[in-house]
Amino acid sequence: MATKTESRSKSENKSRRSGGEKSAFSWGDNNAGVLIGAAAAGAALGFAANMGRKLFMQGMTSAAGDWSEALAAEHKLALAIFDKIEATEDDQTRMRSMLLAKLKYALTKHALEEENVIYPAHRQANSAHDADTLEGEHGYVKTYLYELENMPHDSEEWLARVRDFRSMIEEHMQMEENEVFPALKAQMSDDQN
């Protein structure tokens, strides 16, 4: 049973809310502009953050100079991530997961650049065999990444698989940097490069 004081206080609060004062949680006309503004600001901030990330990642590539130097710089970045993974201990599963995610992102970005630009240029330069070989190796990269994601990260077998993966990646990188890319560059004009 409510006392007179409690009843009066509840009715005063009701009249205050129905009068001039509104709750911050009400969806009345006065707050619609604020909500729309906040949504627009959030969308703009998200867009700006995405553009900044994109420019940062693409900036690293373009800062390297020509395309073969840019791809070689990305190779070095991937090998640095492998170094960090190999330096982890078996009980550092969270760190291994984070580094594997970074590696996956770096290799996926790199593969897309090659598959969308470099390998088609190989085909145009009558080097379809090289393009097909390298693109086929990208399939193995995806397989290794899948296996590593799904293996327990706290075992010696996981780290041994990382080392096998690195060995395969290094061979792929050396073939690109020392044989395939120089041969492609030699066939291209300055404008094409």
Nearest 5°: phi and psi at 191? -65, -40
Beta carbons of 157 and 151 less than 8 angstroms apart: yes
DSSP 80-116: HHHHHHHT--TT-HHHHHHHHHHHHHHHHHHHHHIII
41-91 residue pLDDT tens:
777 777 666 555 545 545 554 554 688 899 999 999 999 999 999 999 999
Place of tokens 């041994």: 160
Out of 47-51, 74-78, 108-112, 131-135, pick the least confident.
Answer: 47-51
Has residue 14 got a pLDDT over 70?
no
Q: Which residue has the higher pLDDT, 191 or 106?
A: 106
